[in-house]
Amino acid sequence: MEIDAVANSINQSEPSHHTKEEEDLYTKMRELERELELLSMQEEFLKDEQRHLKSEYIRSKEEVSKCKIWLITNFRLKEFSLCI
């Protein structure tokens, strides 16, 4: 019982290093840091995806151009063969 009384008096005499408000603020800060890290990762992913989609778009435009050229060429060949 004496040990409990001494421990209680020591605990009461020592100033609290961190108040509940400070601990709440620290916890909130850590949560926000994790959220920021997640958002940064998502941003990088979206940038990579955007670059990838842009390159796919360019390739698809090239393919459409090739198809148009092929159609025009074949159409002209058919016209020419009909004239002969």
Provide the residue ranges of all domains of the chain, joining segments of one domain with +.
47-84
pLDDT at 71: 87
pLDDT at 73: 86
* Two tokens, residue 32: 């926000």
If you write DSSP's letter for every residue of 22-67 in order, what string do you get? HHHHHHHHHHHHHHHHHHHHHHHHHHHHHHHHHHHHHHHHHHHHHH
Dihedral in degrees, nearest 10, Cα atoms 29, 34, 40, 45: -170
Amino acid occupying residue 4: D
pLDDT at 1: 47
Regions of the chain where pLDDT drops below 50: 1, 6, 14
pLDDT at 61: 96
pLDDT at 26: 93
pTM, full prediction:
0.54
